[in-house]
Amino acid sequence: MKKFLLFTAVILSFTLLTILVMEKTDVLGLAGRELAPTFRETDGRLQLSWNRLPYPCFYRIESYSRTTGLVANEPSSHLFQGDFTFDSSYQVPRTAIPMYYRVTAYGMFGRLTPPSEPIENPDFPLDNTSPVSIFHYTENHKASQMPFLVWHTVPTAVCYEVELLSAPPKQEGGTKPATKKEGHLESTRQIYTNGWQADLRPYARRGVVYWRVRALGLHHEAIGEFSKAEPIHIDPALPSPNAPLINDFDQMPNFQQPVYPVYQWIPLHGMMRFEVELLTQPPEIPNGTQPDPKRYWSKVVDSANTCYDEYARPYAGEYYWRVRALDKNNNPVGTWSDAAKFTMPEYSGRVKAAVLGDSITHGGGAVSYSPAALEYSYTTYLDFPCLNLGRSGDTSHMTADRFDTDVLHFQPENLLILTGSNSLRSSTISAQSVINDLDTIRAKCEGNNIRPVFLTLMPINPKNIKYAFHTDTDPNWKLKLNLINGWIRQQEYFIDLEPYFYDASRKEMDTGFSIDGLHPDIRGKMLMGEIINAHKNVLR
């Protein structure tokens, strides 16, 4: 027995030594081989494939986004995640911003190849703002008379224009709709999400129509060209969808709802009232017409595609939600949608870091994007895990009032605090009132062994706020900003955001960071994350 074990050990040692020599001397020439990754897209999901090496190994796939380049000594890219596989393909996690990927082969004793050349996500290329369609209605996969048209979001688009055509355009792209002579059938600009249920009943006899979409800005100006026109082959015999479509097409990697969840969908054609219900288990009757008898919470909203949960969901576990359309008398229209699922993780011990504040912390931006769009959350771009305790609509007083219920439940070691912007633009709330609220939060943190890290308020842009929200801004907002930020800069722990966000005149929020003048958009949220990353030494 001892001889057998000794023999086995010798063979194993020799095998490992042989593998080590092969890998370190590269006798197989693996370091010179190109993995050459490529993409294949199917119904909005990307598959990344590469050349398999003729040697047992595994592969690391790294996902990156570009940084703003506006923070000194910060890297030019942000690593979102690194995954491993033994296969020569990988299903890329959904995303909502331009990303690129690199693949590296590893053996038992280290890296076998250098990282591959970066390959861009074709759905979100860096140099293209034309939407990319997700659903395709071909001769082999025909549409009903009321199909959902869905495309990938264009970062910072406020809304979209969809055009229906009788024939393909003579020239693809461009920023102007076609004329009737060129095949224009109809178009709409009233689309505030990345999908639309088209009513093709007037065109069903044609058998096929074409569609394309372009992104629009705050003033309905084109911010990119039309997408490539695609055919819609119509089969009148197919049943039309009669439930809203859950909108989970473009989500950042490792999507996790904020503690105050937000639910979003693509609406039924022409409907403006919806009911959302939340459950702690799958619905008893999927796609039924009646409320689930065990539903945990429900809410009716006069909103085409979004519902904000007014309650925090801090308890760990699985949650399910679905939505249905209602008419003006609150009668159901069609059935419940499919149920979407999200998980609130269980935290053992104290949370390392959390953020507390109003809608700037909760997330969202570009007028139309809710906090469910995590590309509009600055926590997405932090180098460390961070729990989002933001709540849209908060004044500084409201934020302070919910400290005991929302913050103490998680007992974070560090609390990043950014609240007061809604108070800043209100003419009825003084700077001293905001300072008192911030001081209350500071005292509560120190009384519970939590390090309070204050973020200075950013400037705002009253003209853009007026256009986006039809509300006036306190003309003394700048004086209030100086007083509040002056107090923050006297605290032991703070990170100064304000100087980075001014326009060239140094008077207001730069529109390049915030379309609506209040909520930083993707570039602004990236910048916030990068500033915090550069000063994370203030955290415990």
430-474 pLDDT, tens digit each: 999 999 999 999 999 999 999 999 999 999 999 999 999 999 999
Answer whether residue 408 shows pLDDT above 80. Answer: yes
Is residue 12 a part of any domain in this protein? no
Where does a domain end: 104, 120, 136? 120
Tell me whether residue 315 is exposed, middle or buried, using C-beta atoms within 10 angstroms of its C-beta: 0 to 12, 13 to 18, 19 or more. exposed
Task: For the beta carbon of residue 147, count every other beta carbon within 10 angstroms.
Answer: 21
Task: Looking at the structure, tell me whether residues 231 and 253 fall in a common domain.
Answer: no
Is residue 9 a part of any domain in this protein? no
Task: Looking at the structure, tell me whether residues 189 and 84 fall in a common domain.
Answer: no
Is residue 3 a part of any domain in this protein? no
Q: Tell me the residue ranges of DSSP E strands in 234-367.
A: 245-246, 262-266, 273-279, 297-301, 306-308, 317-326, 332-333, 340-344, 353-357
Task: Looking at the structure, tell me whether residues 390 and 537 fall in a common domain.
Answer: yes
More confident residue, 128 or 49: 49
Task: Looking at the structure, tell me whether residues 284 and 342 fall in a common domain.
Answer: yes
Tokens encoding 518: 């209040």
Task: Looking at the structure, tell me whether residues 201 and 275 fall in a common domain.
Answer: no
Cα(377)–Cα(365) distance, rounded to whole angstroms?
A: 9
Q: Output the pLDDT for position 13.
A: 67
Task: Looking at the structure, tell me whether residues 481 and 520 fall in a common domain.
Answer: yes
Q: What is the CATH number of the domain that holds 385?
A: 3.40.50.1110
Mean pLDDT of the chain: 93
Tokens 């050459």 map to which residue?
Answer: 36
Task: Looking at the structure, tell me whether residues 510 and 413 fall in a common domain.
Answer: yes
How far from chain centre, in Å, is Cα 127? 20
Task: Looking at the structure, tell me whether residues 384 and 416 fall in a common domain.
Answer: yes
Is residue 1 a part of any domain in this protein? no
Q: Output the pLDDT for position 531.
A: 98
Where does a domain end: 189, 219, 241? 241
Task: Looking at the structure, tell me whether residues 305 and 262 fall in a common domain.
Answer: yes
> Residues 189-217: what's their mean pLDDT?
96
According to DSSP, residue 147 is labeled P
Q: Output the pLDDT for position 156.
A: 85
Query: What total of structural domains would you count in the chain?
Result: 4
Q: b vs e for 500-531, b when ≥16 Cβ sit within 10 Å of the residue's Cβ?
A: bbeeeeeebbbbebbbbbbbbbbbbbbbbbbb
Confidence of residue 193 (pLDDT cuts 50, 70, 90): very high
Where does a domain end: 322, 346, 370? 346
Task: Looking at the structure, tell me whether residues 182 and 258 fall in a common domain.
Answer: no
Is residue 11 a part of any domain in this protein? no
Q: Output the pLDDT for position 129.
A: 78
Q: Output the pLDDT for position 42.
A: 76
Is residue 133 a part of any domain in this protein? no
Q: What is the CATH number of the domain that holds 41?
A: 2.60.40.10
Q: Output the pLDDT for position 492.
A: 97
Task: Looking at the structure, tell me whether residues 506 and 398 fall in a common domain.
Answer: yes
Is residue 307 a part of any domain in this protein? yes
Structural domain harbouring 366 = 349-540
Task: Looking at the structure, tell me whether residues 91 and 221 fall in a common domain.
Answer: no
> Residues 481-492: what's their mean pLDDT?
98
The pLDDT tens digits for 13-29 are 665 665 666 576 776 78
Is residue 179 a part of any domain in this protein? yes
